[in-house]
């Protein structure tokens, strides 16, 4: 049986750290285990494959006998303004395939408007186009995971995910990871909306006011 690796990528601020915790939970998965003990860690320092993302040729010398299942994650881009860089997803994946690994790619997503607000606040710019360009250049199947669906359906959602590594959907720590929904700080009460009366009465609205 070939070794299996799941790669998680996505826009900055799309829930990469949360998903990294989820996918690293299973005891048989070689993943970002130190993140399970800390609220947050920097990708460029603590992620087990951080150096390999900088230099994918290092994958050739990695000890692949440590497990049958592997997980790694990277945001596109990584860093802020002058320090940011775009990881070479294609080269990283190609090197893994050359080594005979079964590679799958998960792309995490978050509500678009919230994501844009978050990136503008923290990065001073919207970097979503860089991620879209990077995944458009890939020949591998894309599988998407949602921050909102994870918080809404929790373990029920995780149970439906089918990847090449085992997902510990029933781990008790999942509930702890989902105690805080970072979307809340971007959501504000709406007093009324023009569709409210239609919903209450069933009245048809032919055009938008």
pTM for this predicted structure: 0.93
Looking at domain 4-201, which of 3.55.50, 3.40.50, 3.30.420, 2.60.40 is its CATH number? 3.40.50
Token pair 């504000």 in the structure block, residue = 188
Nearest Cα to 46, choosing from 32, 57, 58, 66? 32
Average pLDDT over residues 78-98: 92
For residue 29, the model assigns a pLDDT of 98
**% of the chain residues with pLDDT over 70:** 98
Question: Who wins on pLDDT, 135 or 203?
Answer: 135
């Amino acid at each position: 049986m070939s070794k299996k690796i799941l790669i998680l990528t996505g826009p900055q601020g799309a829930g990469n750290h949360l998903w990294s915790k989820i996918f690293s939970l299973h005891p048989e998965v070689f993943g970002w285990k130190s993140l399970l003990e800390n609220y947050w860690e920097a990708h460029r320092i603590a992620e087990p494959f951080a150096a390999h993302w900088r230099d994918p040729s290092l994958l050739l010398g990695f000890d692949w006998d440590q497990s049958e299942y592997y997980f790694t994650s990277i945001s596109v881009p990584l860093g802020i303004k002058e320090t940011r860089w775009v990881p070479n997803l294609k080269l990283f994946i190609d090197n893994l395939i050359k080594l005979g690994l079964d590679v799958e790619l998960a792309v995490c997503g978050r509500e678009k408007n919230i994501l844009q607000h978050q990136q503008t606040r923290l990065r001073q710019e919207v970097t979503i186009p860089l991620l879209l360009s990077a995944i458009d250049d890939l020949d591998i199947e894309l599988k998407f995971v949602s921050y909102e669906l994870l918080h809404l359906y929790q373990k029920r959602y995780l149970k439906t995910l089918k990847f090449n590594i085992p997902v510990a959907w029933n781990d008790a720590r999942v509930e702890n990871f989902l105690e805080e929904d970072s979307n809340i700080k971007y959501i504000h009460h709406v007093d009324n909306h023009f569709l409210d009366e239609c919903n209450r009465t069933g009245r048809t609205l032919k055009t938008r006011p």
